[in-house]
Structure 1
Amino acid sequence: MKKLSKLMSAAFMAAILFFTTETKAQTTPANAFVLSLGIETGIPTGVARLGTNFNLGGTARLQYGITNNFALTFTAGGYHYFPKKIPGQDARFQSYGELPIKAGVREFFLPNVYVGGEVGIAFEKLEGPDWGPRRLDLSPNLGYATKNWDFGIHYDHLTHKDDHLGIFALRVAYGFGL
């Protein structure tokens, strides 16, 4: 599963490089800030799949247009993993959350269609007062954005030493200029 996640991330990044060499579309205003607030839901992968079925979260993303088709992004938020029942028991696995903080880029290669990538850190919050490990967060994404709406899919690859997990997620956000 670890090799599959790495292969999928590499293929997605190759697609980003391929598409960003095509004709550019003027979609994001240069020298302007856009703040979007989004809700996200996803399917866990890797070790997260062992104790959870899905996650739900919210993020805030600040975007700054460098040119009319290239932007810098800063994203922060939180994801909650909903636990499965432990097989053969009347209890559930421990629930937990990830609090990501990421910076990245976004390239509009067709009108309203973008590819991007973010890198950052995710803090794992366990039940009670305990915190889990900090994880490297690599997140390629693809989406469709209008003046106010942003619909995107992304894969967050979260890693800490030999512990790998991920999220295939859908983000629906409402954005406004600042």
Structure 2
Amino acid sequence: MKNLIKSILTVMAVAFTITTSAQEAEKNYDQGFRLGIGISGGLPLDDPYDFNLGADARLQYDLSKKYSITFTTGFSNFFVSGDDNDLGYIPAKAGFKAFVLKDQLYLMGEVGAAFAVTNGYDKTSLILSPTIGYATSAIDISLRYEHFNDFPVLDGASVDTGLGLISLRIAYGFKL
């Protein structure tokens, strides 16, 4: 256990040093907020869901030219064949974005909650979401995998939890 704590503290210290060094090297960089408005569509990896559509808003604070923190929310819906089977939810995610190639290609990780809001389903699920994307000063296109720990899926004849989703997001972004 002590080794695990030491390892975590070492990783945090290295990350802090890298971030501090990057900020010192970019003293003239104008830190600030950006807002992105996006739409997304995706394919659920589990039954009974057919597809997913959503819209979101992402607030981003640029720590440096290469690193940002994000907060994303919106509304998305898992569509299911039949009447009154859809699962609509409001995601609330916080994340860290790192630009890795020419300040346009980025990797991002988000974690948060999905609040179910349709058809009397009242579970809240943990969301884990790794993302790869490409951004310019106005356009952001990304591909992400999302895992919902507590949303129901069909596993053969039984109902289980743990829904996966692969989704494409296209957004317009601007400085605030």
Specify the TM-score bucket, using the shorter chain as the normaliser: 0.7 to 0.9
What's the offset of the Cα at 1:125?
Answer: 2.0
Report whether the alignment pairs 1:113 with 2:113: no
What's the offset of the Cα at 1:37?
Answer: 0.2
Deviations 1:30-53 (A, max 9, x none): 51111000000000123xxx2221
What's the offset of the Cα at 1:124?
Answer: 1.3
Deviations 1:92-146 (A, max 9, x none): 461121211000000001020000100000011222xx24210000000000000
Q: Quick one: higher RCO (CA 8 Å, sep 6+), 1 or 2? A: 1
Contact conserved, 1:114 with 1:143, CA < 8 A, in 2? yes
Mapping for residues 36-47 of structure 1, pairs under 5 Å = 36-46=36-46
The SS at the match of 1:126 is coil
Counterparts of 1:30 and 1:52, CA distance in 2: 44
Mapping for residues 8-157 of structure 1, pairs under 5 Å = 30-46=30-46, 50-84=47-81, 91-92=82-83, 94-111=85-102, 112-127=104-119, 130-157=120-147
Larger Rg: 2
Number of equivalent positions: 142
TM-score by length of 1: 0.74
Counting aligned pairs with the same residue, the percent is: 39
Structure 1 segments of 4 or more deviating over 2 A? Answer: none
Counterparts of 1:131 and 1:35, CA distance in 2: 31
The SS at the match of 1:132 is coil
TM-score by length of 2: 0.75
Counterparts of 1:167 and 1:98, CA distance in 2: 14
Unaligned runs of 5+ in 2: 1-21, 152-159
Q: CA RMSD in A?
A: 2.1
